[in-house]
Amino acid sequence: MKTSLFAVDPEKFTDRDLDTAAKIIRSGGLVVFPTETVYGIGGDATNSRSAERIYAAKGRPSDNPLIIHVADPADAEPYAVTCPLYYRLAKHFMPGPLTVIMPKKDTIPLTVTGGLDSVAVRCPSHPIANALIRLSGVPIAAPSANISGRPSATCAAHALHDFDGRVDAIIDGGESRFGMESTIVKITGEDSLILLRPGAVTFDALCCVCSDVTVSETVTRMLREDERPICPGMKYRHYAPEKPLALVGGDPDERLRFFRQKQQEGNCIIICYDEQVRFLSPDGIINIGSAADPERQGHLLFSALRLSDELPGDAVYANLPDTEGLGLALYNRLIRAAAHTVIYPRRDPSVN
Ligand code: TXA
Ligand code: MG
C-alpha cells in the first residue's frame, strides 16, 4: 500500500485540505492524524472492517479496545449511554485530553471495543483532528499511532517510521502539544469515577468536578500474571524502547553519582533533566527539560524514548518521576517502558 503524506498547517487550513483524508475514512481506509496528545491511527468507528485494519496495522491484540473520537461531546449520544457526569466532565475538559468510558450502544461494533460492552469517548481539541472527524461524518476510532508496544508517535516522522506502507495517509500537523496520551476515566456511578490512565487532565483537576475519584491500582503497580485489568491496554508492555530501560530514584545527588558512574563504565544513554546536564558528559545524554517542568518532560518523553534506540549504547537510564500532578502520567508511562525496573542507588560507604 502506498501511504500519502499531507502537510497541513494547524493554524491555517481549510476543509478542502482534509477532503481526501475524510473520504479515506468514510470509505473504510486508515489515516494517521495529529491530536493534542499524540498522533492517532484512525478509521471509521462504526465499521468493524476499519477496526480490524487498525489492529492489523498496529500489530495490536484485538481484545485491546479503541477510543472513539467525536467532534463535539454531544456527538457521543448515538454511540454511548451518557449521563450528567459525562456532560459535567465535558464542560470542564472537552474538547481536550480526556477520554470517558461509558456503556456502549449497538452502533459501535464489538470489534472496536475489543468485545467489551463499554466504549471510550474522546473529543480532541486539535483543530485538524476535530475538523477531520466533522468532515468524515462518523466517529473516528483511533489508538495511538505506534506499532504495538512502541512509544507513541508525537510527530508525523515517528508515525511515518512505524506506518509507511501500512496506512492510506498520514497528515503532518506538527508536534503534539502534550506528548502523552489522554487521561482515561471510567464512570462508575452518578458522581464517581475511576482513573485508569493518567494524562494532562490530572487527578486534582478531576476531583474539582467529581467528588469520588479513585485511582486504579494498575496506574502505578505491575499486573499479576492472571489479572484482568479494567483497561485491557494495561496488561501489555508499553511505550518501550528496544533497549533495556531502568529508572533511577532516590536522593538527587545519589542519582547523579549513579549516572556519572554509568557513563564512566560506558555504553549507556541517560535521559536527564536540564539541571543535571552540566554534571554529565555530553555523549549519550538526552535532555527532557527542567526537573520542575513536567509539561515539557511530557512533550519530549516519547521522542526521547525513540531517540534512545537510535543513539549508540546498550542500556538506558532515566529519572524516576514523582507522582504529583502531571508527574503521575510521566511515572505511569516510564514505569511501563522500564517494565517496572527501578534502581535506588546508595553510596558505597567504603568509597570516599
Ligand atoms: O490521547 C489518546 O487517548 C490517543 C489519541 C490518538 O487520542 N489514543 C490512545 O489510544 O492513546 P490507545 O488505543 O493507544 O489507548 C487507549 C487505551 C487502551 O489502553 C485501551 O485498553 C483503553 O484505552 N480502552 C479503550 N476502550 C476501553 C474500554 N471500553 N474499557 C476500558 N479500557 C478501554
Ligand atoms: Mg497506545
Residue 62 and residue 207: Cα distance in Å, rounded? 33
Choose which residue among 39, 177, 181, 219 to substitute to test ligand 1 binding: the one with the highest number of ligand atoms within 8 A of its C-beta: 181
**CA 104 / ligand 1 centre spacing (Å):** 15
Q: Whole-prediction pTM value? A: 0.96
Question: Could you read off the pLDDT of 130-159 as tens digits, one per residue?
Answer: 999 999 999 999 999 999 989 999 999 999
Question: Which atom of ligand 1 is nearest to 118's Cα?
Answer: 29
pLDDT beyond 90 at 225: no
Using 50, 70 and 90 to split pLDDT, how confident is the model at 350? low
pLDDT of 237: 63
Q: Are 30 and 41 in contact (CB under 8 A)?
A: yes
Closest listed ligand to the CA of 36 = 1
Question: Could you read off the pLDDT of 236-250 as tens digits, one per residue?
Answer: 667 778 899 999 999
Residues with CB under 6 A from ligand 1: 35, 37-38, 40, 64-67, 99, 101, 113, 116, 118-120, 122, 142-144, 181-182, 184, 230-233
pLDDT beyond 70 at 343: yes
pLDDT of 347: 72
Choose which residue among 231, 235, 336 to substitute to test ligand 1 binding: the one with the highest number of ligand atoms within 8 A of its C-beta: 231
pLDDT beyond 90 at 349: no
Question: Which atom of ligand 1 is nearest to 124's Cα?
Answer: 7
Question: Could you read off the pLDDT of 71-94 as tens digits, one per residue?
Answer: 999 999 999 999 999 999 999 999
User: What one-character-per-residue DSSP string does 144-163 give?
Assistant: BSSSTTSPPP-SHHHHHHHH
**CA 177 / ligand 1 centre spacing (Å):** 18
Q: Are 174 and 77 in contact (CB under 8 A)?
A: no
What percentage of the chain carries pLDDT values higher than 70?
95
3-state DSSP assignment of residue 58: helix
Question: Could you read off the pLDDT of 27-65 as tens digits, one per residue?
Answer: 999 999 999 999 999 999 999 999 999 999 999 999 999
**CA 344 / ligand 2 centre spacing (Å):** 29
pLDDT of 6: 98
pLDDT of 351: 58
